[in-house]
């Protein structure tokens, strides 16, 4: 690389205007188009559950997912099965308030879409109307294809979710990495193809071995968004609280980009200690009469 191009790269990074320039609004068609674009960067996705976090993530992410993992990382549930439509709508509203450019996708919680395509549509339409999100996410492969088709044809874009499906934990006996046995691969690839054919605009691929992730990514023409599925996907997603070090137990595939739990513990300890020794509030924190 020439000195000239190194310099212009450096100045572009240091340019505060460039840093604050708004990204164009991500839409479902633009998101899908990233799959066929050989020169495109991987899609960057994170979960968000509050308006402030959504605001922070928005400029860096293509998609913000209001995932049902909020049951665990926000509400202290042991798994995602207890999450309700009301939880998803409340957090979806908060995220939609904070997000300007990223595509906002809200998870359909366990029990809100499996019974019939009609019930799934009624609940998904409620999520779209009440949150202002652009799409919903549904866990499931071949068995959910008719529901995905029903929603997609009626104006509700669907991001599918195959591989490890946390909502199926009771059926499969926990959170288990998928595809360790090659005999499982054909079924999971068939799931991905079925959701693509049904009209899903993207598919989350969770907890699968790398060669299977690669096979799925090659087999479908919609973007694959990996979580615990290696770099052989068209994009990546992590749960925000896991990524910043705010949730104590995380799977092996999570990289901690921060140590928020330690920072919070330290702040709480110092606050408690300063209240107890009366060094807080100090002079500068006290209102005085004029």
Interstrand relation of 63-66 and 158-163 (parallel, antiparallel or unpaired):
unpaired
Size of interface with ligand KIV, in residues (CB under 6 A) = 12
Phi-psi region of 179 (alpha: psi -120 to 50; beta: other; left: phi over 0): left
Residues 237, 243, 244, 246: which binds ligand KIV (CB under 6 A)?
237
Query: Between 75 and 265, whose beta carbon lies closer to ligand KIV?
Result: 75
- If binding is defined by CB under 6 A, does position 239 make contact with ligand KIV? yes
Query: Between 9 and 151, whose beta carbon lies closer to ligand KIV?
Result: 151
Among 23-31, 62-70, 191-199, 248-256, the segment contacting ligand KIV (CB under 6 A): 62-70
Residues 186-205 that bind ligand KIV (CB under 6 A): 204
Query: Between 245 and 275, whose beta carbon lies closer to ligand KIV?
Result: 245
Burial class (CB in 10 A: 0-12, 13-18, 19+), 19: exposed
Instruction: Report, in Å, the least distance between residue 193 CB and ligand KIV.
Output: 20
Q: Which of 112, 105, 54 is nearest to 80 (CA)?
A: 112
Give 242's strand partners. none
- If binding is defined by CB under 6 A, does position 104 make contact with ligand KIV? no
Instruction: Report, in Å, the least distance between residue 237 CB and ligand KIV.
Output: 5
Q: Give how far Cα 270 sits from Cα of 280, 281, 283, Å.
A: 10, 12, 18
- If binding is defined by CB under 6 A, does position 127 make contact with ligand KIV? no
The answer to whether 20 touches 37, Cβ cutoff 8 Å, is: no
Q: What residues have CB less than 8 Å from 127, skipping those under 6 apart?
A: 85, 88, 89, 92, 106, 108, 133, 136
- If binding is defined by CB under 6 A, does position 241 make contact with ligand KIV? no
Residues engaged in binding ligand KIV (CB under 6 A): 47, 65, 67-69, 107, 161, 204, 206, 227, 237, 239
């Amino acid at each position: 690389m020439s000195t000239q191009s190194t310099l212009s790269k450096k100045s572009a990074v240091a340019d505060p205007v460039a840093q604050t320039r708004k990204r164009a609004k991500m839409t479902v068609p633009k998101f899908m188009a990233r799959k066929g674009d050989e020169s495109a960067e991987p899609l960057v996705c994170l979960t968000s559950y509050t308006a402030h976090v959504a605001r922070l993530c928005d400029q860096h992410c293509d998609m913000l997912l209001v995932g049902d993992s909020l049951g665990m990382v926000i509400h202290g549930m042991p798994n995602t099965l207890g999450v309700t439509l009301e939880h998803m709508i409340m957090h979806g509203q908060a995220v939609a308030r904070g997000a300007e450019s990223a595509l906002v996708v809200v998870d359909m919680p366990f029990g809100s879409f499996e019974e019939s395509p009609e019930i799934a549509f009624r609940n998904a339409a409620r999520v779209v109307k009440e949150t202002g999100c652009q799409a919903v996410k549904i866990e499931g492969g071949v068995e959910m294809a008719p529901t995905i088709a029903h929603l997609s044809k009626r104006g509700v874009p669907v991001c599918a979710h195959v591989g490890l499906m946390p909502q199926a934990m009771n059926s499969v006996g926990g959170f288990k990495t998928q595809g360790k046995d090659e005999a499982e691969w054909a079924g999971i690839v068939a799931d991905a193809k079925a959701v693509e054919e049904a009209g899903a605009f993207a598919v989350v691929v969770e907890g699968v071995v790398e060669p299977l992730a690669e096979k799925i990514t090659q087999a479908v023409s919609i973007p694959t968004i990996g979580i615990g599925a290696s770099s052989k996907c068209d994009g990546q997603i992590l749960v925000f609280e896991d990524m910043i070090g705010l949730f104590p137990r995380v799977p092996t595939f999570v990289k901690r980009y921060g140590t928020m739990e330690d920072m919070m513990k330290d702040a709480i300890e110092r606050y408690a200690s300063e209240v107890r020794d009366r060094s807080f509030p100090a002079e500068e924190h006290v209102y005085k009469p004029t």
